[in-house]
Chains A and B, each alone.
Chain A
Amino acid sequence: MEHDGDALVIAGRGFSSRLFLGTGKFPSNESLAGSIASTRTELVTVALRRVDPTAETDILDAIPERVLVMTNTSGAVDADEAVRLARLARAAGLPTWIKVEVTPDPRYLLPDPIETLKASERLVADGFTVLPYCPADPVLCKHLEEVGCATVMPLGSWIGSNQGLRTRGALEIIVEQARVPVVVDAGLGAPSHASEALELGADAVLVNTAIGTALDPPAMGRAFRLAVEAGRAGYRAGLPAAGPVAAASSPLTGFLS
């Protein structure tokens, strides 16, 4: 969908959709394809560990050509592994956009800030367009920006937790300070969470679990698309400040002007 000159630009590439989609957890390739269509996303992330060009059916089969495939380094436990996985993806002919994902803890899948920074720096130097999944840490995000990352992608809450913007206070600082687009990645469990991220000034969101595990993934994809558009529109329209007391719609001292 066009946004009246409000296209998101990452590393020189324009995106008319501010909703990015992860491809795990879907019940079938058909369901994934339907969700890509209903979200109108233009960027999906795919774990290299799931890609299998030799298989009869591969996850890449569900992705139309208009959509940019960004490989993620899911499974990497340190910078060395993330760098090797990114290079394997490039050698396999996949695009050089990489979501750096370094999660040494297999349970909460929290990104390792130190190894994420190291991997990002090396991959930028190696010519990749790097979008790192990272903790919602404003200082880390500045470091990632300085080593040349195309965006920062701080988590809203733990991946797959559907808990929404539990890191809201930190996200506000990250948005305030960022000189690259901010993509809120992980933890968005409902369309309203996506709206909230866009309303607070995030440039885009990346959603997977909430859509992939919905009873009707394509329908949930559409709901997220509408929520992202609403959140962005609200942000651009200038959200009024929230206050502790009621304020009259008609100013009481308007007669003085």
Chain B
Amino acid sequence: MAPVSAIELQSRPVGLPPGTAAAALASTDLASLRRVVDGATAADVDRALSRSARPGRGGARLEDFATLLSPAAAARLEEMAGAAHDLTIRRFGRTVHLFAPLYLSNECVSVCTYCGFSAGNEISRRTLGVNEVVEEATALTDRGFRHLLLVAGEHARVVSKDYLVSCVEALAPLVPSLSVEVQVWDTDTYRRLVEAGCDGLVVYQETYDAGTYAATHLKGKKRNYDWRLAAPDRGAEAGMRRLGIGALLGLHPDWRADAIALAAHARALIHRWWRVEVSLALPRLRPAAGGYEPEDPVTDRDFVQLLCALRLSLPDVGISLSTREQATFRDSVVPLGVTTMSAGSHTEPGGYAAPSDAEPQFQVSDDRSPAAVAAALRGAGYDPVWKDWQRA
């Protein structure tokens, strides 16, 4: 895998600030870790399994994580699943937290090959007014949700800092927990969002491979890999309590390389920002407007191995599973390490309070209602938790 700073910068400072988790990740020898996957033996898997959940200095042993992604470990999937299940129950109990994405806007000036909102796509676009955002949130709280993730395309003028702060200020009295997944901002903007009542920041790097990143992010500020990679650091510095990171599985032809980088990034964030709760998402790419079809889909078996390996190596991180996945698959993998799920999601702006004709970001595979997802969890012996935060 190429080093992580080979992107031509467009409008933001060059490089990664020293002392950040992003800088620590950039100095991690990911290529050597990737080679561990191919060379791992049955004895290596034994060792990795026996000391999983016992981190060494600096946190999770990344060599063990790489070993658990290997073909040798794939032969031990049932054993990995059992251990992942036990660890998850001990740490998180028989509970799954539910949240909903609230799309504010699908306006976007970036061109990304895999995304329905990409600037080149001829789609119906819309940005909700703050009053409409409140209506959407009210429709979601009526369905039980107490944690909302505000999502928007990248359009600094339409989806501006002031607009985002206004949305958070309007929602904070209604919604106990608010996170944002929007274009990346500077520390001051994140601080304003925190002060307005936002407690979580979600930034997917999409792919950690610099070459694939450049080839899939063709236009816009999002081309700046480094600026994006250090966004979780800036969020933590600004006082965000929760950081969510992820990679779009299937974007880079070698998903194991991206998985290793994701785990290394999580480990670096935990080590650098010890007060912050880090969670991971494992979105598998879905077909989207513009005719995008993922070239290198991650199989269900691969996905399960990755999920278990992450749980065993990072026993305390939350793992989120979205409605990109099919209902039956989501139900099946809950016991293996999933701690958070979205439900009843709309991936277009509007749509909860009233039907919307705006284009969705991607196709949803699990279209069950929130109540149906909660009922399925209860049926499997899990408590669906709607509220787990109280702003002090």
Contact = CB atoms under 8 A, between A and B. Distances in A.
B383 A26 contact: yes
Contacts of B94: 25-27, 212-213
Interface in B256-312: 270, 274-277
Interface residues of A, number: 33
Given A55-B144, A160-B91, A212-B93, A28 B378 contact: yes
Interface string A158-170: 0011100000000
A23 B390 CA distance: 16
Contact of B383 (A28, A106, A107, A160): A28
Contacts of A75: 389-390, 392
Contact of A52 (B89, B90, B386): B386
Interface in A26-55: 26-29, 47-52, 55
Interface string B365-381: 00000000000001001
A219 interface: no
Nearest to A208: B93
B118 to A, nearest CB: 35
A76 B390 CA distance: 9
Q: Is the interface of B mostly helix, strand, loop or mixed?
A: loop
Contact of A55 (B274, B276, B386, B392): B386
A209 interface: yes
A50 B385 contact: yes
Contacts of A76: 392
A50 B387 contact: yes
A106 B95 contact: no
Nearest to A29: B383
A160 B92 CA distance: 9
Nearest to B89: A213
A19 interface: no
B382 interface: yes
B221 interface: no
B387 A160 contact: no
A106 B275 contact: yes
A160 B378 contact: no
Interface stretch (A80-88, A136-144, A240-248): A80-88
A113 interface: no
A162 B53 CA distance: 14
Interface centre among A75, A106, A162, A209 (most CB of B within 10 A): A106
A234 interface: no
Nearest to A77: B275
A48 to B, nearest CB: 5
A6 interface: no
Contacts of A88: 390, 392
B84 to A, nearest CB: 15
Given A27-B381, A49-B388, A213-B94, 19 more contacts: A25-B92, A25-B93, A26-B94, A27-B93, A27-B383, A28-B383, A29-B383, A49-B176, A52-B146, A52-B386, A52-B387, A55-B386, A75-B389, A75-B390, A88-B390, A88-B392, A160-B90, A162-B90, A212-B93
27 contacts: A24-B93, A24-B95, A25-B94, A25-B95, A26-B95, A26-B383, A27-B94, A27-B95, A27-B382, A28-B378, A29-B383, A49-B388, A49-B390, A51-B387, A51-B390, A55-B386, A75-B390, A81-B392, A85-B390, A88-B390, A88-B392, A104-B275, A107-B274, A161-B90, A209-B90, A212-B93, A213-B90
